[in-house]
Structure 1
Amino acid sequence: MASQPSPSDLRRAKFTRRLPAALSELAGPEHGTVSPPRHLAWSGLTTFDLDQPRLRMSYYRIVLAEGRHDDLIRCLNPGLLISLWPTLRTLISRDVREHSFDELAHSTQAAA
């Protein structure tokens, strides 16, 4: 009899399906004001100034937590994600992303 996958295994599989193959696929802006799709920012703030540290962090948390594959590619910038990762990793499920992208694991080690 096969064992049932754990909730963390199911969560990991769900997140892995949403990830692009490489961080280089991310094509989001680095500066300026952005408005994520309505299915991501449907209540509260609907625009975020990426030049404001708190708003940038909020935007990245929302996109990483709720975004679909295409949202991640369209909304996230690889350089910003790497620079924000040491803080973001404490706020969201990080194991799948760090396992998938060496750049994120390295940014964490450099910040330590």
Structure 2
Amino acid sequence: MAHFNEINTTAQGNTKKLQKSIPDTMKSFKNLQDAAYAPGALDKKTKEFAALAYAIADKCEGCIGNHVNKLIKLGASREEIAEIAGVAIVMGGGPGSVYGGKALQAYDDAMEDQ
């Protein structure tokens, strides 16, 4: 099983390749991300939890690693990640239980490096 730091590094490298190949599209995507995650009626942490739940349900390992790392910086605990995994399991069915575990693995992997 891949360590989430490796998954994150690969995902970031692939994103950089896209940024070089289609810079205008990727800049527009980044602007969309910045707008969507900006604090408003919901704070950044809440929005990141929503993104993580979707990443788990959609089985996107790169997304899981990315959002877990952002949540760690926003002060999320392992218990909060576990509860969001529970929500994702409800929304994503059985596969959510497998990828919810991956979110906890991502958290544990990231905390090893701190």
Q: TM-score, normalised by structure 2?
A: 0.37
Q: TM-score, normalised by structure 1?
A: 0.38
Higher share in helix: 2
